[in-house]
A and B are shown apart, each in its own frame.
Chain A
Amino acid sequence: MTTVDSKSVVRDEKQSDAFGPAASQAEAESTNIEHGRSICSVPLSAFALTSDGHIASPEPIAAVATSCGDGSASLSLGWDALPAHPSLVLAASTLDGRTLFAGCVLTSHKVREDGIHCEIARGGVGERVLAEESRVPTLNTEFFQYRLPYADSVYESWSRAGILKRTVLDRVLVCGKCRSVATFRFACRQCGSGRVAHKMMAHHFACAFVAPVSEFETAETLKCPNCQTKHLVAGTDFEYMPGDNECDVCGWSDRELEQTGHCLNCDSRFAAHKAVEQELVGYHVERLASLADIADLG
């Protein structure tokens, strides 16, 4: 890792044409602030990214933050450390041992005797991957699948680099065929339709006859269709009992309904026990609130 004396960095930057007028430099020197940035010398790690968001190499580049502002900062890199793609992820270690990450993009660089001096700004693909909406799966309303915005390989490379930590956020039951989200209901065992009508049965005590209540009902009274006894009184002459459920679609009749899944994507119906349990995986990261905070870590 390249270590740079903070006073020499300040001296170099004073000589540089790239940074503001001399008067403000003098003012900043007295307060360690230059162009609204804190002058510092904080060792950092930087992960180079590819254009599609993958970590180019799990081995970080050593860097030193020489000045930090809210949305931009200056870095000093080794001679051979200039990344191929301008997107970076900065990793800054805190005094209590945590590592904070921020996505940056290289805006300019200068090759000098002691290495490469570059300007970075917060943003780029790294910052987009680190954003919360990129780390928590959301329901895709076209396919009804929980998805993350980037390819799995992106998250895997970030996890391997130790930036993202894989976390199981929830478990959901999905269709075994297409892995899409399904709705569940108690439905017909035969066709899986939720359009079932519950039939009530009646048990006539005197003759032990059992049939659906509809068979007992006549225009004027309740009458046992077996023994023809009329004017039946519930509780005294007969009792109501739970009967079968009859499917309006296929006509199947059964006492017990089955918990059935209906896939919102492919429309297939399946018994709940045949649904596939899918883990909703998210990623956790500790983000650097502002690039200006890097100065406090020195």
Chain B
Amino acid sequence: MLNGWHLWLTSRTWDEVALLLLGMSLLDGPRYCVATAITCIYDWVCGIKRSLFSKQPEVEFSHCPSVCVMVVGLNEGSGLGATIESIIGTYPRVEIVVVDDGSDDDMAEVGRAYASQHPGIVRCLSRPWRGGKSSALNIAATHTTAEVVICVDADSHLASDAIWEIVQPFRDENVGAVSATVSVRNCFTNFVTWFQGLEYLQSIFVGRLVAARLNVLPIASGALAGFRRELLVRLGGWDVGPGEDLDITVRIRRIGYRVTFAQYAFCHTEAPTTWKALVKQRRRWEGDGPVRHFSRKHIDMAKPWHRDFRLSNMFMFLDGITFNLLCGYGMVIWSVMILLHPDMRPHPYAWMTFYIVSVLAEIVALGPLMYYSRQRKHDAIVALAFPLMPAYRMLLLGVRIFSNTAEIIWRKSFTEPHVPPHVRAVTWRW
């Protein structure tokens, strides 16, 4: 079989090899491997240089602004206690504002119990009916005067030094928002969560580092993100979602502030445990980014004649639209081309080559992951899912294509139950 494959491969013309490589470049994994490998090598060289020539020891945490952690949720009573516990005592100048967005469960009671146990640190606000995550965040923002606002999902747990890590970049006055690393807490529950565990490590832990270095990072995830409060006030807070985390980050970039990444600010979140739940989640996430926000709402930022135009923002849009939107359709076109190609279509070797090279790219991407990792043993076990990752990525690409198409044609994100109907009915349709 190997001989047959070798013979098939060596008999390909350059056009056919290029066609195969084109397909691989449309997948997330192989694409990541190139950028992350370059960044990793750069950091490795800088690290050696620093260890040889720098005599001053690095001060790890020197910036300590006042912080308000906003925990907003709907029916999150079961996980709220653990989330608050993971925050209390980890940072000296912290206050926690819990907003119960009209929950039917005991979220408000849990919040109030913590507020009475920790007066002056925890506050609980409860609204009688649901108004959506954005307005709940805006309510929380009116109850603080802290310099930095940190958003945490009610089902996420923070690492003990996460707040310290996330506030450090705010030393730079040009930094308006800081993205953090979201990792999967239940990654060994089953294959679904295992794949997500590795995906989060590659696309967030390493991927966002690269995006931040290139100054094209468009999002500070809602699970854990830091914002300069004065900018939130200036911008009028969060706009109606879904995708409110991406939207606020892009708006911060619009007014000229940088978005950076605190790689070691970890937040451990619960990932969907079934394929159905995963697909549903991704359908919600994927559509609104490249289509609703990049191509519609904020497209003026990429126009050279617009007052908000910046080169870095244009590259951010190009990155987002190309890789999250166009690559999907490119993959569809590529698949059709392969299927129509007289020599490749009948040959399983074509698909085998595609898959094996994709797996090799995944292996290359593991190098940077291990280089940056601070818990290598754990991450190495998570990384063992790599042989099946190309298949997983193909599935997610399918979901992405579907979501983007639904958004382009039907503006599906405006019918998301994520936003209450009375808000959906009156908000602007971009």
Contacts and interface: CB of A to CB of B under 8 A. Distances in A.
Chains A and B come from one and the same complex:
yes
A208 B127 contact: no
B30 interface: no
B162 to A, nearest CB: 26
Contact of A203 (B131, B244, B427): B131
Interface in A100-144: none
A29 interface: no
A293 interface: no
A234 B322 CA distance: 42
B410 interface: no
A241 B427 CA distance: 19
B240 A210 contact: no
A205 B138 contact: no
A262 B139 CA distance: 32
Contact of A255 (B125, B131, B236, B238): B125
A201 B135 CA distance: 12
A206 interface: yes
B125 A210 contact: no
A239 B131 contact: yes
Contacts of B422: 205
B131 A206 contact: no
Contacts of A255: 123, 125, 143
Interface in B221-275: 236-240, 244
Contact of A210 (B237, B239, B244, B428): B237
Nearest to A210: B138
Interface in B137-170: 138-139, 141-143
A203 to B, nearest CB: 5
Given A203-B131, A208-B238, A226-B236, A244 B143 contact: yes
A207 B427 contact: yes
B427 A209 contact: no
**Chain A contact residues (Cβ within 8 angstroms of B): what range?**
20 to 34
A208 B426 contact: no
A206 B123 contact: no
B241 to A, nearest CB: 8
A5 interface: no
A272 to B, nearest CB: 13
User: Quick one: which of A211, A227, A255 has the most chain B CB within 10 A?
Assistant: A255
Interface string A178-220: 0000000000000000000000010101111111000000000
A209 B237 contact: yes
B423 interface: yes
A52 interface: no
A236 interface: yes
Given A206-B240, A208-B237, A255-B125, A236 B426 contact: yes
B132 interface: yes
B193 interface: no
Contacts of B115: 256
Given A208-B240, A255-B125, A201 B427 contact: no
B138 A206 contact: no
A6 B354 CA distance: 129
Contacts, number: 63
A205 B427 contact: yes
A208 B138 contact: yes
A206 B238 CA distance: 11
B290 to A, nearest CB: 22
Contacts of A208: 131-132, 134-135, 138, 237-240, 244, 423
B426 A209 contact: no
Contacts of A243: 142
Contacts of B135: 203, 205, 208-210
Contacts of B427: 205-207
Contacts of B428: 206-207
A225 B139 CA distance: 15
B260 to A, nearest CB: 25
Nearest to B115: A256
A59 interface: no
Nearest to B137: A208
B138 A209 contact: yes
A244 B125 CA distance: 10
Contact of B142 (A206, A207, A210, A237): A210
B142 A241 contact: no
Nearest to B120: A189
A205 B115 CA distance: 28
Interface in A227-265: 227, 236-237, 239, 241, 243-244, 255-256
Contacts of B125: 255
Nearest to B140: A210
Nearest to B145: A253
A239 B239 CA distance: 16
Interface in A145-162: none
User: Quick one: which of A206, A207, A211, A239 has the most chain B CB within 10 A?
Assistant: A207
Contacts of B244: 208
Interface in B180-196: none
Given A208-B423, A209-B237, 13 more contacts: A205-B135, A205-B425, A205-B427, A206-B428, A208-B135, A208-B239, A210-B141, A236-B426, A239-B131, A241-B139, A244-B142, A255-B125, A256-B123
20 contacts: A201-B139, A201-B142, A203-B139, A205-B131, A205-B135, A205-B426, A206-B427, A207-B239, A207-B428, A208-B131, A208-B135, A208-B240, A210-B142, A225-B236, A227-B236, A236-B426, A244-B142, A255-B123, A255-B125, A256-B123
- 9 cross-chain pairs, A with B, having the tightest CB-CB distances, nearest first: A226-B236, A208-B134, A210-B138, A208-B135, A205-B423, A205-B426, A206-B427, A208-B240, A206-B426
